[in-house]
Amino acid sequence: MPKKSFLLCLFLLCLTVACNRKTDLYKVVGVKDGDTMVLLSPQYQQVTVRLAEVDCPEKSQAFGQAAKQFTSDLCFGKMVKLIVNNNDRYGRTVGWVELEDGTSVNKQLVKNGYAWQYRAYSKSMEMAMLEQQARQSRLGLWQDANPTPPWNFRKGERENRVENKQDKPKKKRTHRKRRRKHLDTVAF
């Protein structure tokens, strides 16, 4: 009987150590913008992470640089926990990022007014309340009288690119083709 107890205790100790290992922690090695960062995995692989359920202003948009700076100040160089939701169409990991003390980066962005709750992908009442409180307190981007949501900003950017592409005249390549033909016919 004592041998079984000893083995059980040893097993539980090993299980506890395995569960508490910090192998699930990633180091934040880059902040691309307010809601996108690069993490270094325990296996030394870089993982680009898009924060779930939030949408920060684009870098070229009002408060875009401030959102990036906020995210950087909050977590750059720190060890974080990654809770993966899925992958997006760009191959990025979409998920929640928490500091070692349990602070959610996603929630802090919304709470401090540097991100919208991304309602197309989030139905969280807590996130909605955090955004509402930031709006009422006029924090971050809510200082602006009429901030443009990033999804509308991106839509406008896409429409401008399409219009600009249609306005540009197409380049003529006839000169190059004639020259190639001429070089093909020259005998050496």
Nearby residues of 158 by Cβ (< 8 Å), 6 or more positions away: none
pLDDT of residue 121: 87
| Residue 54 belongs to domain with CATH number | 2.40.50.90
Q: Is it the case that residue 175 has pLDDT exceeding 60?
A: no
Residue 122 in domain: yes
Domain that holds residue 124: 22-144
Residue 175 in domain: no
Interatomic CA distance for residues 25 and 23, integer angstroms: 5
Active site residue 58: yes
Please state, rounded to an integer, the average pLDDT across all residues of the chain: 84
Which listed residue (21, 53, 58, 100) is catalytic? Answer: 58
Q: Is it the case that residue 4 has pLDDT exceeding 80?
A: no
Residue 180 in domain: no
C-beta contacts of 99-105 below 8 A and 24+ residues apart: 99/74, 99/75, 100/25, 103/74, 105/51, 105/71, 105/74, 105/75, 105/80
Instruction: Pick 3 or 84 by higher pLDDT.
Output: 84
Residue 6 in domain: no
Instruction: Pick 161 or 118 by higher pLDDT.
Output: 118
Nearby residues of 148 by Cβ (< 8 Å), 6 or more positions away: 57, 61, 62
Residue in 45, 28, 33 with CA at minimum distance from that of residue 97 = 28
Which listed residue (21, 53, 89, 92) is catalytic? Answer: 92
Q: Is it the case that residue 179 has pLDDT exceeding 80?
A: no
Band of the pLDDT at 10, cuts 50, 70, 90? low
Which listed residue (50, 53, 98, 131) is catalytic? Answer: 50
pLDDT of residue 47: 96
Q: Is it the case that residue 17 has pLDDT exceeding 50?
A: no
Token pair in block for residue 39? 């993490």
Instruction: Pick 15 or 49 by higher pLDDT.
Output: 49
